[in-house]
A and B are shown apart, each in its own frame.
Chain A
Amino acid sequence: MRLSAEEAFRLYGDRLFAIAFSVCRNRADADDVVQDTFLKYHTQNRDFESPEHIKAWLIRVAVNRAKDLTTSFWRKNKVTWEEYMGEAVFEDPADSRIFEAVMNLPKKYRIVIHLYYYEEYSVREIAHILRCRDGTVKSQLSRGRVLLKNMLREEWNDDE
């Protein structure tokens, strides 16, 4: 099956922006990642098994593209995530603390934490998207949770 780039963007654009932002930690790069990802989706013209397959493919492309940008030599001055936070309207003050805590995690933990808590993927699904082993995802998730708990204390439950 195949969705138009416009339809795919309508369904998954904001999700891709969120995962890209969690990797790049600035709006400009996250926007570039989203644009590059949908341009690639549009030009590759491949078939997919289901909407979930499309979403997983888009996320994988976006994560890899975001990692490329964060390791590239060429970086402009960009609006940082702290400045972005200053402009964002959070529903609750605790939300901004969670956002800040996640942004302060090491990149590899941010990615799996985001895919688990925001996209609600299982460990196995995350490992498939990131092309790594289940054990790697489990340990990164575990360490990320410990760091979040240390930063957020009572605001982060002990539940999974």
Chain B
Amino acid sequence: MTNKEKYQRAFSVLHASDDCVKEINDMKKTKRVYIPKLAAVCAIVVLVLGLASITYAADIGGIQRNIQIWFRGDQTDAVLEVQDGSYTLTYEDEDGNIREQSGGGVAYDMFGRERALTEEEIIEHLDSPEVEFREDGSVWVYYHSQTLEITDQFDEDGVCYVQLKDGDEVLYMTVTEDSYSMSSHGYLAP
């Protein structure tokens, strides 16, 4: 007997329960909206939150601060250094490795003049949702303590719309199969 034959015979004991049959039959009679347990509605995923965002732990002097950030669903301590609109963030990941993340940017005032991002704007950026495209093909959204897999929530055009609710604030994310964008005013076109 080949391994496949042995395996198939061993697993032939598995059968869906009679309740499944009843549930399938009931589908024909009633109109239902599919709402799986992780709060997704069709191709729009809604994530409701209620926790605080980044908190300052201590000002350790100079241009550095101790802050707490959310990293992939876990809160962790980090040191933030900001200078001229650029930042360096040092923290420990889930495996205990020290990691460093850098970035920065500019903003434009009402006259079109460029200026460096402020510390508050940088922190707001660090506090924003993150989308991870994993090597195994799964796609995950992280926002504060919440983790949500959206791998199978993409519509036929390869777009998933995610609505993040945190108290009265709502963020609208548009996620394609390799990028994402967000706005507090509505879904951006992919």
Contacts and interface: CB of A to CB of B under 8 A. Distances in A.
Contact of B32 (A39, A114, A160): A39
B15 A17 contact: yes
A83 interface: no
Contacts of B16: 9, 13-14, 16-17, 30-31, 34
B8 to A, nearest CB: 6
Interface in A17-57: 17-18, 21-22, 27, 30-31, 34-36, 38-40, 42-44, 46
Q: How large is the interface on A (under 10, 10 to 19, 20 to 34, 35 or more residues)?
A: 35 or more
B27 A38 contact: yes
A77 interface: no
Contacts of B42: 43-44
A97 B42 CA distance: 41
Contacts of B149: 64, 67-68, 71
B27 A39 contact: yes
Nearest to B13: A88
Nearest to A145: B3
Q: How large is the interface on B (under 10, 10 to 19, 20 to 34, 35 or more residues)?
A: 35 or more
A108 B136 CA distance: 10
Given A5-B27, A131-B136, A35 B34 contact: no
Interface string B5-42: 01111111111110111011101100011101110001
Contact of A5 (B2, B6, B28, B156): B28
Secondary structure call for the A interface: helix
Contacts of A14: 14-16
Interface in A100-143: 102, 108, 113-114, 117-118, 120, 130-133, 136
Interface string B84-123: 0000000000000000000000000000000000000000
B137 A131 contact: yes
B123 to A, nearest CB: 28
B36 A65 contact: yes
Contact of A42 (B27, B38, B156): B27
B152 interface: yes
Nearest to A157: B3
Contacts of B137: 130-132
Given A64-B151, A117-B3, A132 B33 contact: no
A95 B27 contact: no
A9 B28 contact: no
B185 interface: no
A132 B133 CA distance: 11
Contact of B10 (A6, A40, A96): A96
Interface string B131-145: 000011110000000
The 3 nearest A-B residue pairs measured at CB:
A131-B137, A117-B7, A17-B16
Given A40-B34, A91-B12, 7 more contacts: A6-B24, A17-B16, A40-B36, A42-B32, A117-B8, A131-B137, A159-B3
Interface of A: 4-6, 9, 13-14, 16-18, 21-22, 27, 30-31, 34-36, 38-40, 42-44, 46, 60-61, 64-65, 67-69, 71-72, 74, 88-92, 94-96, 98-99, 102, 108, 113-114, 117-118, 120, 130-133, 136, 155-157, 159-160
